[in-house]
Amino acid sequence: MSSLGMEGAHPVPGDPLALPWDRFSSWLHCICVVGFDLELGQTVEALYPPHAKLTDKEKTSICYLSFPDSNSGCLGDTQFCFRFRQSTGRKSSLHCILDQMDRDSPVYLKKDPSCFYGYVYFRQVRDKTLKRGYFQKVIIYMATSFDIDRWPPPVPGKTLHLPIMGLVIKVRIPTRHDKPGTTQMVDMTQQSDAQISVSLPTIHEVDLFRCISPLKYCSDFRPYFTIHDAEFKEYTTRTQAPPSVIFGVTNPFFAKTLQHWPHIIRIGDVKLAGDVPKQVKVKKLKTLKTLDSKPGVYSSYKPYLNKDEEIIKQLQKGIQQKRPSEAQNAILRRHFLELTQSFIIPLERYVASLMPLLKSISAWKSPPQLKPFSQEEFMKTLEKTGPQLTSRLKGDWIGLYRNFLRSPNFDGWFRARRKEMMQKLEALQLEALCNEDLLIWVQKHTEVESVDLVLKLKNKLALAQREHLPVSADTLQKLQGQVDTIIQELPEDLQEILVKTSSS
């Protein structure tokens, strides 16, 4: 089974009059059943909902990615996930409720319109009646899809009760306004605990942390990658430096083909020292011997920061004391959150200084531009206000920052922060306009200038609603009232034109 991420959804999935599969599309694009045919190989045997659109190239990718790509006998059930690019030219949803939900979601839960995400349940059991000797199927009970079609949309901040195959899952969808590192209380008023089968505090922290807020990984990543992937040649060429991408692979072929990559993690059985797992050390990449190497982290880079012995001891002590895994996960999440905050706070402080002074905001001029980001100016701030103020870790923080500023992750983070600050400037100008007596201004200017002002204000109000600018509803209402008053002061023929403009 491959259940693919949201894309191309219907306009109003939460509408009580929604058509069949509209609510389903708020959560998934489709569910596939993939089987293995001796003559045809992997094939998509079923697709739900039947009208879900997948190109032939996308179906091929799903087929190859849905089966484990190795010589090891995966008897029984296997679960994993994958990610692959959508075909070019696919239309994404426009101005629908999903877009609003995406705006309110934390950065790590925002949808990726360029990729599909697949979640696989693979089953392989011995079957002597088949020529191959095994029954292989990527499968799911089809009743699941009809249950999902009854789910409400995944609105950030809401506590939802999701029925599935006779069970009820209670879960809260995170919102971008949540305080990092905390778990919000779930709403207990909608349904009694006796009816709840599974209760999740949040949808993304079922087990070990999956993200480190507030940074988002902005390069490509493939939780599972095979030699049949459409980008295989693009990513495995030796004619250029290794790409900025993270791969998860099982085929031994990659151990030899990609051994020139700067970081390689080999995963195997964890060896115990008593009841405690042995510490995995970072080894030099040149010690890697393809297939016969031991599990471990192999890297050609020297770490910028010293490792944190205290957190390692804390986790090892938890294992000895049989501390619940939920508590161990909480310790890890808190550690990486605090480390990330120590790293990002100096950047946040410097970027905030790029904002123009409040006195430079004028009701009658376009919002001023942000000051440009200067790497050298930022570096000068680290001596007094760097991460050493909040983090106990020692090392080459300056080198770490210089490397980060050259990475796609900084580019993605800064573009998001820059957009937020530009929206704040737009909001401040709207507030400045709201505080002006526009009727007095109109009385001193020509009709043409008044009409021009009305059109500009209408555009700004539309922008504020469309982009969800950080401006109060009272400010927007007051400004709309001033626009209506100005229109009433104009001749009737101009009033009719402006009314038609606003309604079209």
Q: What is the pLDDT of residues 217-228, one digit of tens each?
A: 888 999 999 988
Strands annotated E in 288-436: 296-299
- pLDDT, one tens digit per residue, over 355-366 is 999 889 998 888
36 and 133 share one domain: yes
Claim to verify: residue 443 and residue 409 sit in the same structural domain: no
Q: Which of 174, 189, 208 is the last residue before a domain boundary? A: 174
Domain boundary, last residue among 147, 174, 201:
174
Query: With 50 as the cut, is the pLDDT of residue 188 above it?
Result: no
Q: How many CB atoms lie within 10 A of CB 448?
A: 9
Contacts of 297 (CB under 8 A, 6+ apart): 263, 264, 265, 280, 281, 282, 283
What pTM was estimated for this model as a whole? Answer: 0.75
pLDDT for residue 77? 81
Same domain, 395 and 442: no
Label residue 146 by pLDDT band (50, 70, 90): confident
Residue at 98 is within a domain: yes
**End residue of a domain, out of 174, 192, 210:** 174
- Does residue 253 sit within a domain? no
Q: Are residues 399 and 332 in the same domain?
A: yes
Residues 158, 14: one domain? Answer: yes
One domain, residues 56 and 148: yes
CA–CA gap between residue 81 and residue 115 (Å, rounded) = 13
pLDDT-above-70 percentage for the chain:
78
Two tokens at 175? 């919102």
In a domain, 225, yes or no: no
Judgement on whether residues 70 and 131 belong to the same structural domain of the protein: yes
- Do 17 and 117 sit in the same domain of this protein? yes
502 vs 75: which has the higher pLDDT: 75
- One domain, residues 416 and 442: no
Which pLDDT does position 135 carry in this prediction? 58
- Burial of residue 34, with CB atoms counted within 10 A of its CB: 0-12 exposed, 13-18 middle, 19 or more buried: buried
Count structural domains, the chain.
Answer: 3
Q: What is the pLDDT of residue 209?
A: 38
In the prediction, which pLDDT does 180 show? 62
Q: Are residues 380 and 477 in the same domain?
A: no
For 242, phi then psi, to 5°, come to -55, 140
Does 337 have pLDDT greater than 60? yes
pLDDT at residue 3, as a whole number: 45
Whether residue 271 is contained in a domain is answered as no
Statement to judge: residues 343 and 488 lie in one domain: no
- Of residues 498 and 413, the one with the higher pLDDT is 413
Q: Is 380 domain-assigned?
A: yes
Give the structural domain span for 448.
436-503
Q: In this structure, is residue 471 part of a structural domain? A: yes
Residue 501: per-residue pLDDT: 67
Instruction: Name the band, by pLDDT with cuts 50, 70 and 90, for residue 325.
Output: confident
Would 134 be classed as within a structural domain? yes
Q: What residue type is assigned to position 426 of the chain?
A: E
Write down the pLDDT at residue 382: 96
Does 95 have pLDDT greater than 50?
A: no
Q: What is the pLDDT of residue 292?
A: 67
Note whether 263 and 298 are within 8 A (CB): yes
% of the chain residues with pLDDT over 90: 26
- pLDDT score recorded for residue 97: 57
Shared domain check, 442 and 415? no
Would strands 30-37 and 2-4 be described as parallel, antiparallel, or unpaired? antiparallel
413 domain-assigned? yes
